[in-house]
């Protein structure tokens, strides 16, 4: 990577919140680059230390997981990375009855009963803002649950953060669940359900609101677990999504990758995954009850956030919008002015990108964005 970032993590992999078994499974078939070997050693040492604490979690939650009854079906916020899923998630989880996976749970999903210790570790070493947009992050803030799954099982797309060259295989196996057995799918669904239950027990609330871009290609699998689940799909100008995702990953990768991966590689990966994910979503949507999914545009959410939130509540018959509206307004006021990034691109690059995202521009009726200059 050539682009520098202010975003820094300690010399340990986020896999530190996993188990020795899972870490070994993630590394199997992948080659760690020489410059990352010390990070791997430190990660193994840390994971070994946390083993005893995970046993406490397993004992404490075993019966609770078996007896748990959902009071409401989940709401899944989906959409490609950098489409506005975080903004919508942060807003909707201001509702007092909303529950979510916290950043802490996503790093240490099997150490909830020892968070008094590991939260301190995270607070010391975690950067205050995330890469790409400098959005504030904290151990107790809502976070996308795929990070939790990446530390609960080797069957997670997010291991592409560590071994990005594996992204085609990870997408095929753990977003689309192709070339995997029925037993593997059932194991993933069981773990995902348990992770959601622990989020509800940890954060409180009755309505779990989850955001996970990887779930954009998993709607049908999620409906197998939760037949009454609802989905909010947020879309954004595909050209800006591409540029923003490349910016985000080129700033993030130097802190998490365990193999070399160039900025050019990132660009090609983003284009390929965008095309696959959005086409798979459009195909899957044909099989989803229209009453179970709502689509909103990022640009409209930013312009009229309260109106769009009310639309979501009306669509899914959530009765508590009037009580939550002041909390939404308060959060929006805390964000300050919305900064719009400007981008430049050559005509040659634009033509290359449009080959992959042109179908989405047409489908969702997007034009050339005002904040993109062609040079």
Do residues 371 and 236 touch, judged by C-beta distance below 8 A?
no
| Predicted pLDDT at 336 | 79
Do residues 158 and 214 touch, judged by C-beta distance below 8 A?
yes
Q: What is the mean pLDDT of the chain?
A: 94
Dig out the tokens for 313 from the structure.
Answer: 């509540």
85-92 and 305-315 helices cross at what angle (nearest 10)?
Answer: 70
d(CA 365, CA 358): 10
Indicate whether 92 pLDDT > 60: yes
Mean pLDDT calculated for residue range 303-318 = 98
Long-range contacts of 47-52 (CB under 8 A, 24+ apart): 47/15, 47/16, 47/18, 47/19, 47/20, 47/23, 48/20, 50/16, 50/17, 50/108, 50/111, 50/114, 50/118, 51/19, 51/20
Mean pLDDT calculated for residue range 158-181 = 98
| Predicted pLDDT at 8 | 66
Indicate whether 6 pLDDT > 80: no
**Four-residue CA torsion sign, 104, 109, 112, 118:** negative
For the chain, percent of residues with pLDDT exceeding 90: 89
DSSP secondary-structure letter at 365? Answer: T
Mean pLDDT calculated for residue range 317-321 = 96
Q: Which domains does the chain have, with CATH numbers?
A: 14-340 (3.40.50.300)
What are the residues facing 98 on neighbouring strands?
207
| Predicted pLDDT at 137 | 84
Mean pLDDT calculated for residue range 76-89 = 98
Using alpha carbons, list the distances in angstroms from residue 282 to 238, 287, 320, 324.
Answer: 15, 10, 31, 32
Mean pLDDT calculated for residue range 238-251 = 96
| Predicted pLDDT at 239 | 98
| Predicted pLDDT at 265 | 97
Comparing C-alpha atoms, which of 69, 103, 106, 374 is closest to residue 239? 374
- Beta strands 343-345 and 372-374 are parallel
Comparing 336 with 316, the larger pLDDT belongs to: 316
d(CA 275, CA 283): 12
d(CA 290, CA 210): 20
Burial state string for 48-72 with b = 16 or more CB within 10 A and e = fewer than 16: eebeebbeebeeebeeebeebeeeb
Indicate whether 140 pLDDT > 80: yes
Do residues 57 and 88 touch, judged by C-beta distance below 8 A?
no
């Amino acid at each position: 990577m050539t682009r520098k970032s202010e975003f820094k993590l300690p010399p340990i992999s986020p896999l530190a919140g996993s188990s020795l078994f899972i870490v070994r499974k993630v590394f199997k078939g992948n080659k760690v680059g020489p410059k990352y070997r010390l990070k791997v050693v430190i990660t193994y040492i840390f994971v070994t230390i946390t083993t005893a604490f995970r046993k406490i979690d397993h004992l404490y939650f075993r019966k609770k997981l078996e007896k748990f009854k959902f009071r409401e079906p989940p709401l899944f916020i989906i959409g490609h990375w950098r489409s506005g899923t975080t903004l919508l998630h942060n807003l909707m989880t201001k509702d007092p009855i909303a529950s979510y996976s916290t950043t802490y749970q996503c790093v240490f999903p099997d150490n909830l009963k020892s968070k008094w210790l590991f939260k301190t570790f995270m607070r010391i070493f975690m950067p205050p803002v995330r890469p790409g947009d400098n959005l504030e992050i904290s151990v107790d803030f809502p976070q996308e649950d795929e990070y939790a799954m990446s530390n609960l099982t080797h069957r997670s797309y997010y291991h592409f953060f560590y071994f990005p060259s594996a992204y085609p295989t990870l997408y095929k196996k753990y977003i689309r669940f192709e070339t995997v057995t029925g037993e593997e799918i059932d194991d993933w669904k069981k773990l995902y359900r348990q992770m959601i239950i622990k989020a509800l027990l940890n954060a409180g609330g009755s309505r779990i609101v989850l955001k996970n871009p990887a779930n954009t290609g998993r709607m049908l699998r999620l409906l197998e677990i939760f037949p009454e689940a609802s989905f909010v799909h947020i879309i954004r100008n595909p050209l800006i999504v591409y540029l923003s995702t490349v910016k985000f990953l080129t700033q993030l990768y130097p802190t998490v990758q365990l193999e070399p991966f160039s900025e050019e590689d990132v660009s090609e990966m983003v284009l390929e995954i965008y095309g696959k994910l959005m086409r798979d979503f459009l195909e899957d949507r044909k099989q989803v009850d229209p009453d179970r999914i709502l689509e909103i545009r990022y640009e409209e959410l930013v312009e009229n956030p309260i109106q769009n939130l009310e639309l979501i509540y009306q669509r899914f018959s959530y009765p508590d919008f009037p009580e939550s509206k002041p909390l939404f307004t308060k959060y929006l006021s805390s964000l300050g002015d919305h900064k719009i990034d400007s981008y430049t691109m050559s005509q040659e690059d634009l033509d290359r990108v449009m080959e992959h995202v042109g179908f989405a521009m047409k489908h969702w009726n997007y034009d050339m964005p005002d904040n993109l200059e062609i040079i």
